[in-house]
Structure 1
């Protein structure tokens, strides 16, 4: 049934004809994941920017830093867990911004955060936020994001997100490069250190954009191998899928994105 649905979606979207729009403001996504224990996860998200976002040369990359006022809502259903999260950033000036977010809306275990930050020359974004958590200790988080724009298309970005005591942190980076014609390559790496669970996690994924309509990827997810692919029907719609071979079994994911 899932395969028939995928074929139907592809056939329907392939019939669309649209004039490519170089900028987008609204990003909607529907996702599905199938886990080896028989559980399924469903996710629906919508992300709106109050200013047009220009892509970097491919239809699913719009630069590394968010530098405009934006708001995002995400609904997740996994097994018996249902979660609705809302977050946003408001730029009071070109440099100063405030941020806020909440999770588990409507439940007794509501979590929330609030903070502020400063953007230096559209390159360095620093922020501090306080997290009020119902089922864990409250904490203060520090975040630094840096983007080095090499040329019109190529860039390198790095992010450090850490507790104020630096016991738990995540360091991630992205390298994006234009090859020739409509061919691009991207590399995403991440390392996460969790003090409370005594856990370290490392992932690295490389994506090759063969042309404007197709990309393929290969990654290592804490020593587990995964493959992924995206098909772009046009600048507005794309379908993505991935298979990750974890020790406990294979996880299948399918996502559909509509952006305007």
Structure 2
């Protein structure tokens, strides 16, 4: 009997270690204090997302594969200025025999109710093409076409690219993310994007360094002199707390944003 109990405990322990870094439900509560040109505004946001199958973390608890291939539903609520402005959103993405079907709905304080539609095809685990249509209540529908490709270097490391444009090719964007295991429990994620429009070009870059699976620091910078620095810590495999500071000085108009957020994933 003792041998059977030990065997069962070993099997259970192995099962938990294999699945402990897999998640299906994600939620986040965030509060921001915004100082825009001397005027203070508070913002609160709440978001939840459920995947119909497990999402496996790539070492750090908040890093996952570049191209999502799991059907999911998402809902969010944001409130800015204690009711001065709010927006609610709900969306879903569903994979059916490699086809991607998506629908999104939103509503804000002013009664704007745009709808989003998505049609895509997963040619392989590493190549996804999709068309996203935004249908506003007034005006023409806007179509965006994108192609995402992931080059898997090894079990954890990858470099991914996404090329996107609108139906008039007035806007073309290229973004990329590189994720690598540096050794021991250290990881690095780096991102870069550039947007080319008829008016101007914009770029942004960012990086996250992981001291271990639970603790990281991050920073970003873009072409509009907007930068952000922050840190995140998971208290266990499910709960994390993060803080961030971002600032922008554009044409003499200063914006400073202090954010604190709590996440849960199971």
Q: Indicate the TM-score class for this superposition, using the shorter chain for normalisation.
A: 0.7 to 0.9
Quote the residue 2:207 is aligned against. 206
Taking the aligned partners of 1:32 and 1:193, their CA distance within structure 2 comes to 32
Partner of 1:190: 193
User: Which aligned runs of 4 or more in structure 1 are off by greater than 6 angstroms?
Assistant: none
Partner of residue 27, structure 1 = 26
Unmatched tracts of structure 2, length 5 or more: 1-15
Contact 1:109 1:135 in 2 (8 A): no
Show CA shifts across 1:173-208 (max 9, x none). 11000001110001012223455xx45432211111
Q: Which has the higher strand share?
A: 2
Corresponding position of 2:50: 48
How many residues are aligned here? 240
8 Å CA contact 2:85, 2:109 repeated in 1? no
Distance 1:257 1:54, change over 3 A: same
| CA distance in structure 1 between the partners assigned to 2:49 and 2:91 by the alignment | 9
CA shift, 1:129, in A, is 2.7
**Distance in 2 of aligned mates of 1:194 and 1:103:** 26
The answer to whether residue 92 in structure 2 is matched with residue 88 in structure 1 is yes
Q: Deviations over 1:20-52 (max 9, x none)?
A: 812000010111221113112211111111000
In structure 2, the CA distance between the partners of 1:145 and 1:167, relative to structure 1 (3 Å rule), is: same
**1:48-67 to 2 correspondences below 5 Å:** 48-67=50-69
Residues 81-130 of structure 1, C-alpha deviations (whole Å, 9 max, x = no match): 1111111111111x112111112168632100213111011011111132
Per the normalisation by structure 2, the TM-score is: 0.84
1:153 aligns to 2:172 (yes or no): no
Q: 1:246 to 1:161 in 2, by over 3 A?
A: same
Pair 1:78–1:211, CA change in 2 (3 A):
same
Distance 1:145 1:103 in 2: 25
* TM-aligned CA distance change 1:161 to 1:102, over 3 Å: farther
In structure 1, the partner of 2:217 is 216
Deviates more, 1:136-145 or 1:175-184: 136-145
Q: In 2, are the aligned partners of 1:186 and 1:208 still within 8 Å (CA)?
A: yes
Q: Distance in 2 between matches of 1:36 and 1:199?
A: 27
**Match of 2:7?**
none
**Alignment partner of 1:113: what SS?**
strand
Structure 1 unaligned segments of length 5 or more: list them: 1-17
Larger radius of gyration: 2
With 133-142 and 79-88 compared, the bigger mean Cα shift is at 133-142
